Amino acid sequence: MPESGARKVILPARYIQGQGVLGQLGAHVKQHGSKPFVVSGRTGWTRVKARVQASLLQAGVPLAGHDDSVTECTHAKINEVAARVEDAEADIIIGCGGGKAVDTAKAVSEKLHLPVITVPTQCATNADQMADAVVFSEDHRFIEDIYLSQAPVLVLVDTEVVARAPPVFIVQGMGDALACGFEKPAYAETMRARKSQEQATNAALEVNLKCFQTLMAHGVQAKKDVEAGKITDAVESVVEAIKLQSGFGFGGGGCAAAHAVHNGLTIVPGIARKHGEIVAFGTMVQMVLERRPMGEVERVMRWCRELGLPIRLSELGKLDMSYLPKAAEKACDPNDSMSAMPFTVTPDMVLGAMREVDSLAQRLG
């Protein structure tokens, strides 16, 4: 009998990144279908509509329809969009926009057994290549992760588009990607110890390490370059770290405490930060839970502070602190990713770690 399960990673069939690559969309769509349907948010669709339609028309695969009404990835929205896709008799879906639109598109593709191409319009998350969709309530409270049978057939990242989005998006994306350098190793250790049916690949661990190194080396410069309207090697490297490297690591599973803390904090009244910003705070909570050396925690904390990512509870919004124990309890839901930590984590431990991060940030000045 084998000592443990199979090593697994789920990746997109193709990843293309560069300035102007959106013009290639039609040719790639044509390889998988002839009646594309775009799922997007209104802002993202407005930014790329003309280029998407031109590329599709040039390839002879005009839009069968589109829905630009996504404001949140909910079960109701997934069902609503799926009905529209069926009515249009579309045979391929294009998810265009931020994480909510892309996750909705992926969930619809899974429901209808259709291929999906993702076209991000900003860099706030690594959702574009992930084989999952994160479902929330209408008021953005975490509901569940839907794990998909396959990743997109193409992730098309036009840096001329994503680097021209407001700079806060690439900062949020770096906060989200930061977690992979800590969550994937924790997940891998746990799966090995449990002799789980699904094991992390060494490749995913190495790519996650490279992602973390890229963020530390180029993240601050990439933010400055985007603010200056420049698309530099630093920007391209950080976009790849967010859109490809961090997603590669999570492709076989791999969330742990950082995302579980995020999920818990979404129930706190007054939370005002976005996904990647809350995940960055959750990453520091995980580091404290793991009792990492204080110098290592401070290094990440200083990096977050320089980028403008939250390092204190007060920077997450005008939180109702009385809800923090409930947030800690939700973070430890046995069905969530806290269970992937290599040791038992209790709500009291999470609450203490959140307060310790806050205290350390205050001392850091």
Residue 209's Cβ-count burial label (10 Å; 0-12, 13-18, 19+) is: middle
Residue 66 known to be catalytic: no
Residue 176 known to be catalytic: yes
Active-site residue, from 91, 225, 275, 336: 275
Beta strands 132-136 and 142-147, pairing class? antiparallel
R_g (Cα) of the chain, nearest Å: 20
Q: What helix, strand, coil percent values describe the chain, rounded to 5?
A: 55, 15, 30
Cα separation values, 331 from 157, 276, 288, 351, Å:
32, 16, 15, 10
Residue 28: both structure tokens together: 């790639």
Active-site residue, from 28, 66, 218, 259: 259
Active-site residue, from 128, 218, 262, 336: 262
Whole-angstrom distance, CA of residue 277 vs CA of residue 218 = 18
Residue 43: which residues within 8 A CB-CB, separation 6 or more? 97, 121
Active-site residue, from 176, 225, 336, 358: 176
Cα 97–chain centre separation: 13
Positions annotated as catalytic residues are 176, 259, 262, 275
